[in-house]
Chain A
């Protein structure tokens, strides 16, 4: 209601009239505790601390296919797999390597699918999370709707802190994203931890090393 706007602003103004205003506050740079080791390794450890699974960093296509086939062997992910259209170049080769699975490029709502593969925009070591954004190549729902989700993360996009990662995304001109830290979970019933509520129960992270991109 347009009248409300004036009313609220006037009310705030009169409330603040006699208040001495605080000055601008600098962004707080704090000591974020880190474990030792290479950043890839740390990312793996921290992601797994949140209850996800992370494979060893991958160097080439063969690594990728090997990892995927062992993943498909471990988890009952069903036959159909949605992939984000950012992965379109791999569609044919995936179909060749896994003839028993049905891969399809997602086209919006993918509620019938049990598993999806999508791209993670950035990884954050500080709290073991990944950032996933959406655009014309990847939908919002692909990262959360299926029960199994596999995220592919470029090792170049791993950052130590949230501050660094958010800045990097903003520099790329990305304005909306979701930060994901492990499987969807709840403790609403007697504080018992249950995973897989509305989002995925199994989240797996594949980190692709720089070499991977050099060869691809």
Chain B
């Protein structure tokens, strides 16, 4: 596995995040804001629940007919003059991109935000092969300058405050110091505009790929996708195979839901519909458009009846915004390109249970994520399923936990043993031994058993009543 991914260090990174007051403040503020605007926005519709059901069924249809739909999509793309490539895994996708770029001797690359490119660690690959890659989404540009991965699906620099960003721009770009978000944005715009104008190729992700027309839909607010897909001569779109929609006519529903769930807007500023490369009489636009359909374990995930519905996800990030764990641990703790509840569900499936066995436990199962998901991914149930699988693999669980639950099982499945437990707890409470249970008592007062349990009292009472 790639050394840049570290989901099993969740506890450690999360602890660091908790001690980082700047990060906690930034995250708390941002997450409250996101939740508030999302909740307001979904009230536009009285039939939001029906919309969720419809979206769920449409996405489910995609999964169930993925092979046909992929072929149909490819056929329509080819007719439109778009070149389609398939990539089995991250390495294959990187190589394909490398081939396309090197065949046109493209060196300077502008990128617009895409979690899928994070998944295959594209920037790292391209840089080590001598390409100049610049992220053009403002938040993504900021984390790129900091040499960090993004910490949120839709807001990559959500964990930073303006002071940190001001310092960053001042030091890394030698720009005059300013903490004004407007000024900072202007500075980034000026720099990135030059990059756009001189870029040889643009790389983006895909939000939806329509099988019946071969159109690619990419959603954004800043205009950088618009420029990435218009100015350079080559455009490459990296698309997870599950992003297909059977019909273009389904799009309005998803556009309504995605914008509201992600940022509380009723619609994103730019929704790009790309179909064909530049025609001979057109004034600008990419001469070549390549779509790379990335599998990277998705086709295997499809098989898993209990977990496959995580492929319904449309990456709106709403589950992150409501997750109290995400809000405290921060996106980096999840150690992979997907974070929050959806990350905890997808990451173990993408890179293997043993490589991410802590993530499914990083939840109180408060079920808030399942409620906000616009496509009804049953996140809490999936977390439970993953926990069951992990518990079944003896090597992945601490022995103390396994033994603990065995003892617990004896105590609670047999009255005689339960009476024993009662006495043990009474004894432990009396002599202050509950303190010894460190993970609990380090931060909390030790539990104390009541002098008489309800059971004991009930027995006495009924005895007296007789």
List A residues at the B interface (Cβ < 8 Å): 1-2, 4-5, 7-9, 11-16, 18-19, 21-25, 27-28, 30-31, 33, 50, 106-109, 111, 127-129, 134-136, 138-141, 144-145, 161-163, 166-167, 170, 175-192, 194, 196-200
Interface contact B282-A134, CB-CB below 8 Å: yes
Partner of A198, one of B181, B184, B192, B255: B192
Interface contact A25-B267, CB-CB below 8 Å: no
Partner of A185, one of B88, B189, B221, B303: B221
User: Closest A-chain residue to B184, C-beta based?
Assistant: A189
Digitize B20-36: 1 where CB-to-A-CB distance is under 8 Å, 0 elsewhere.
00000010011001100
Interface contact A189-B249, CB-CB below 8 Å: no
B188 to chain A: closest CB distance in Å? 8
Sample (29) of A-B pairs whose CB atoms are under 8 Å apart = A1-B87, A8-B241, A13-B67, A16-B302, A21-B64, A25-B58, A27-B247, A30-B51, A30-B54, A31-B46, A108-B283, A109-B231, A128-B267, A129-B267, A136-B283, A139-B230, A140-B230, A140-B283, A144-B223, A178-B271, A181-B265, A185-B222, A186-B138, A188-B142, A188-B157, A189-B162, A190-B29, A197-B138, A198-B189
Q: Hey, which chain A residues are within 8 Å of B15, CB to CB? A: none
Digitize B286-315: 1 where CB-to-A-CB distance is under 8 Å, 0 elsewhere.
000000010100011011010000000000
Q: Does B86 contact A (CB under 8 A)?
A: yes
Q: Hey, which chain A residues are within 8 Å of B276, CB to CB? A: 175-176
B141 to chain A: closest CB distance in Å? 9
Interface contact B282-A139, CB-CB below 8 Å: yes
In the complex, A9→B73 CA distance in Å? Answer: 13
In the complex, A76→B88 CA distance in Å? Answer: 52
In the complex, A111→B284 CA distance in Å? Answer: 12
Q: Hey, which chain A residues are within 8 Å of B215, CB to CB? A: 175-176
Interface contact B224-A28, CB-CB below 8 Å: no
Q: Does B426 contact A (CB under 8 A)?
A: no
Task: Kindly list 19 other residue pairs between chains A and B, CB separation below 8 angstroms, not including A185-B221, A186-B185, A199-B270.
Answer: A1-B88, A8-B88, A11-B299, A12-B302, A22-B57, A24-B61, A24-B246, A28-B58, A28-B250, A176-B276, A177-B273, A184-B269, A188-B155, A189-B160, A189-B181, A190-B30, A191-B34, A198-B192, A198-B193
Interface contact A16-B66, CB-CB below 8 Å: yes
The number of chain B residues touching the other chain, given as a range, is 35 or more
Query: For window 220-254 of chain B, which residues contact chain A by CB distance below 8 Å?
Result: 221-224, 226-227, 229-231, 241, 246-253
Interface contact B293-A8, CB-CB below 8 Å: yes
Q: Does B70 contact A (CB under 8 A)?
A: yes
Partner of A191, one of B30, B70, B80, B87: B30
In the complex, A24→B165 CA distance in Å? Answer: 48
Query: For window 41-72 of chain B, which residues contact chain A by CB distance below 8 Å?
Result: 44-47, 50-51, 54-55, 57-58, 60-61, 64-67, 70-71
A119 to chain B: closest CB distance in Å? 14
B260 to chain A: closest CB distance in Å? 10
Query: For window 261-289 of chain B, which residues contact chain A by CB distance below 8 Å?
Result: 263, 265-276, 279, 281-285
A86 to chain B: closest CB distance in Å? 11
Interface contact A9-B70, CB-CB below 8 Å: yes
In the complex, A166→B212 CA distance in Å? Answer: 14
A23 to chain B: closest CB distance in Å? 8
Interface contact A1-B252, CB-CB below 8 Å: no
Partner of B224, one of A111, A189, A197: A197
Q: Hey, which chain A residues are within 8 Å of B457, CB to CB? A: none
Known: A111-B193, A178-B226, A188-B157. A22 touches B273 (CB 8 A): no
In the complex, A138→B279 CA distance in Å? Answer: 12
Q: What secondary structure prevails in chain A residues at the interface with B?
A: loop
B318 to chain A: closest CB distance in Å? 15
Interface contact B189-A189, CB-CB below 8 Å: no
Interface contact B251-A108, CB-CB below 8 Å: no
Q: Does B95 contact A (CB under 8 A)?
A: yes
Interface contact A30-B284, CB-CB below 8 Å: no
In the complex, A23→B57 CA distance in Å? Answer: 9
Q: Does B330 contact A (CB under 8 A)?
A: no
Interface contact A176-B274, CB-CB below 8 Å: yes
Q: Does B200 contact A (CB under 8 A)?
A: no
Q: Hey, which chain B residues are within 8 Å of A8, CB to CB? A: 70, 86, 88, 241, 293, 295, 299
Interface contact A194-B270, CB-CB below 8 Å: no
Interface contact B282-A178, CB-CB below 8 Å: no
Interface contact A190-B282, CB-CB below 8 Å: no
Q: Does B123 contact A (CB under 8 A)?
A: no
In the complex, A2→B179 CA distance in Å? Answer: 50
In the complex, A1→B138 CA distance in Å? Answer: 33
In the complex, A18→B305 CA distance in Å? Answer: 9
A66 to chain B: closest CB distance in Å? 29
Q: Hey, which chain A residues are within 8 Å of B241, CB to CB? A: 8, 12
Q: Does B156 contact A (CB under 8 A)?
A: yes
